[in-house]
A and B are shown apart, each in its own frame.
Chain A
Amino acid sequence: MSALKDAGHLFRFAGLFVIAFVVFLVVRSYVVPKTFGQYGHYRAAAIGEIADHPMKFAGHETCEACHTDIADTKTKGAHAHVNCEACHGALAAHANDPTSVTPVKPDTAVLCARCHTASAAKPKGFPQVDPADHSSGAPCQTCHNPHSPGIGADTGASAAKGGAQ
Chain B
Amino acid sequence: MNGVVGYMYPNEVTLYWSVLIVLYPFITGLVAGAFILASLERVFRVEAVKPTYRLALLTALAFLLDAPLPLQLHLGHPERSPEMYFTPHSTSAMAMFGYVYLWYLMAVLVFEIWLDYRRDIVLWSQESKGLLRVIYKIMSLGSSNISERSLHIDERVGWVVTLVGIPSAFLLHGYVGFIFGSLKANPWWSSPLMPVVFIFSAMVSGIAAVMLIYMAVTKLRRQSIDMRCIDTVAMYMFYIFIIDFSLEMLDLVHRIYEADESFRSLDFMVHTKLFFSQIVVQIIIGTLVPLVLLFITQVARIREVIRKRIYVLCGCLILISVFAMRWNVVIGGQLFSKSFLGYTTYKMDLVTREGLFVAIGLTILPLVFLSVLLKLLPPWPEKTLHEVAAGD
Contact = CB atoms under 8 A, between A and B. Distances in A.
Interface of A: 2-3, 5-10, 12-13, 16-17, 24, 28, 31-32, 36, 41
Given A3-B149, A6-B150, A31-B82, A13 B87 contact: no
Contact of A32 (B87, B145, B147): B87
26 contacts: A2-B149, A3-B153, A5-B145, A6-B147, A6-B149, A6-B150, A6-B153, A7-B153, A8-B143, A8-B145, A9-B140, A9-B141, A9-B150, A10-B153, A12-B143, A13-B111, A13-B141, A17-B106, A24-B85, A28-B85, A31-B82, A31-B86, A32-B86, A32-B87, A36-B87, A41-B90
A5 B147 CA distance: 10
B142 interface: yes
Contacts of B143: 8-9, 12
Interface string B169-212: 00000000000000000000000000000000000000000000
A13 B114 contact: yes
B44 to A, nearest CB: 25
Contacts of A16: 141
Given A6-B147, A6-B153, A12 B89 contact: no
B42 interface: no
Contacts of B326: none
A7 B154 CA distance: 8
Given A13-B111, A24-B85, A31-B86, A6 B145 contact: yes
B283 to A, nearest CB: 42
Contacts of A3: 149, 153
B157 interface: yes
A16 B142 CA distance: 13
Contacts of A8: 143, 145, 150
A41 B153 contact: no
Nearest to A31: B86
B118 interface: yes
B114 to A, nearest CB: 7
A32 B157 CA distance: 36
A9 B106 contact: no
Contacts of B85: 24, 28
A2 B150 CA distance: 10
B86 A28 contact: yes
A17 to B, nearest CB: 7
A7 B143 CA distance: 10
A14 to B, nearest CB: 10
Contacts of B141: 9, 12-13, 16
Interface string B107-149: 1000100100010000000000000000000001111010101
Given A24-B85, A28-B86, A31-B86, A10 B157 contact: yes
A24 B145 CA distance: 30
A8 B118 CA distance: 13
B157 A12 contact: no
B87 A7 contact: no
B118 A9 contact: yes
A12 B143 CA distance: 8
B125 to A, nearest CB: 13
Contacts of B147: 6
A31 to B, nearest CB: 6
Nearest to B144: A9
A75 to B, nearest CB: 37
A8 B157 CA distance: 13
A6, A8, A32: most-surrounded residue (chain B CB, <10 A):
A6
Contacts of B157: 10
Nearest to B85: A24
A134 to B, nearest CB: 32
A9 B141 CA distance: 7
A7 B149 CA distance: 9
Contact of A9 (B86, B87, B145): B145
Interface string B86-115: 110110000000000000001100010010
Contacts of A24: 85
